[in-house]
Amino acid sequence: MKKFLLAFATLALVATSNALSAQDIETDAAQDDSTAIFESLDANKDASLDKTEAAGDSELTEGFSLIDTDKDDRISSEEYKAHKAQVIKEGQAAS
């Protein structure tokens, strides 16, 4: 049974990676990277960045009010990801 599960998991993994286009993989890698940055900035691990924590990143400090779309003075991981996705999108449009 374990072998069957392993084979199934491997198949699922192969199917998933085949389904991803090169661009998807690139975006996934960028999102993994941004998650790591977010977590490293989130000093008290409450899954949001306040202005003190955002001060560790000049891009976040400058864009804080734009990134904080719900205006609660915190950047949630969703807001951060949305911001990063926007940056990636703009970068692709510019190139």
Residues that bind Ca ion (CB under 5 A): 42, 44, 46, 53, 68, 70, 72, 74
**Min dist. Cβ of residue 16 to Ca ion (A):** 32
Query: Judged by CB, which is closer to Ca ion: 24, or 73?
Result: 73
**Min dist. Cβ of residue 67 to Ca ion (A):** 8
Residues 6+ away with beta carbon under 8 Å from 82: 67, 69
Instruction: State how far the Cα of 55 lies from the Cα of 49, in Å rounded to an integer.
Output: 9
Query: Judged by CB, which is closer to Ca ion: 33, or 46?
Result: 46
Instruction: Compute φ and ψ for 15, nearest 5 degrees.
Output: -65, -40
